[in-house]
Chains A and B, each alone.
Chain A
């Protein structure tokens, strides 16, 4: 199993450019998440999705958009990149079912983004 696959691994953007970070999982997980990690800080939730067609904002959603058209894919879109979006981005997925059923929190390998 590939798990959670993120692309690209590295990217340099100029201020004002746009890009899409791709994330796909092959574990049939219903939940997917996007986090950013800044130096010395804990991971912060940008957006998450509880299933295809359903997305919601996390702690730091400004400047980002997401979509979830399939169970497998959860792309993150950056519009008008700004230096404050320089960070490492992680996609993750998990399965949550009835009651306390929860398992499989799995992270992608990360995307290191620099906005100059």
Chain B
């Protein structure tokens, strides 16, 4: 079965801390997406990557294809980063459809 697993499920941090969220998947993928779901429910795409590393502001996403693993890092975390972060993959055999992890609830306290 094609699976996506995220860890941790819940994460609480103090403002300014460096945060890492992990995602592992079971078989070959064509791309991996990181998404952010705001407390109000809206979902925003943060990154799409198939190799290496991408950076946008304080967010960094990395992927290791051989190890079937990706990480999302947040530097100098802020309370406004509090959200659910979701990893999703496009399997090599599934075209454009995504399979989602269960999400990581991040809370950053001031």
Cβ-defined partner of B41 (8 Å) among A44, A50, A58, A109: A109
Is A74 an interface residue, CB under 8 A from the partner?
Answer: no
In the complex, which range does the number of interface residues on chain A fall in?
Answer: 20 to 34
Q: Once bound together, how far apart are the Cα atoms of A50 and B42, in whole Å?
A: 23
In chain A, residues 100-116, which have Cβ atoms closer than 8 Å to a Cβ of chain B? Answer: 100, 102-103, 105-107, 109-110, 112
Residues in B with CB closer than 8 Å to A102 are 30-31, 48, 90, 96
Q: Which residues from 58 to 116 on chain A have a C-beta closer than 8 Å to any C-beta of chain B?
A: 58, 88, 90, 92, 94, 96, 100, 102-103, 105-107, 109-110, 112
Contact check, A40 vs B97: say whether CB atoms are below 8 A apart.
Answer: no
Q: Are A100 and B100 in contact (CB under 8 A)?
A: no
Instruction: Decide: B30 and A100 in contact? CB cutoff 8 A.
Output: yes
Question: Does any Cβ of A come within 8 Å of B43's Cβ?
Answer: yes
Whether A42 and B100, one on each chain, are in contact in the complex, defined by CB atoms closer than 8 angstroms, is yes
B40-52 toward A: CB 8 Å interface, digit per residue (1/0)? 0111110010100
Among the listed A45, A90, A107, A109, which residue makes an inter-chain contact with B97, where contact means beta carbons less than 8 Å apart?
A45
Which residues from chain B sit less than 8 Å from chain A, CB to CB? Answer: 4, 30-31, 33, 35, 41-45, 48, 50, 86, 88, 90, 95-103
28 chain-A/chain-B pairs, Cβ below 8 angstroms: A31-B96, A33-B97, A41-B102, A42-B4, A42-B86, A42-B88, A42-B101, A43-B86, A43-B88, A43-B98, A43-B100, A48-B96, A50-B96, A58-B97, A90-B43, A96-B95, A96-B96, A100-B50, A102-B31, A103-B48, A105-B48, A105-B98, A107-B42, A107-B43, A107-B44, A107-B45, A110-B41, A110-B42
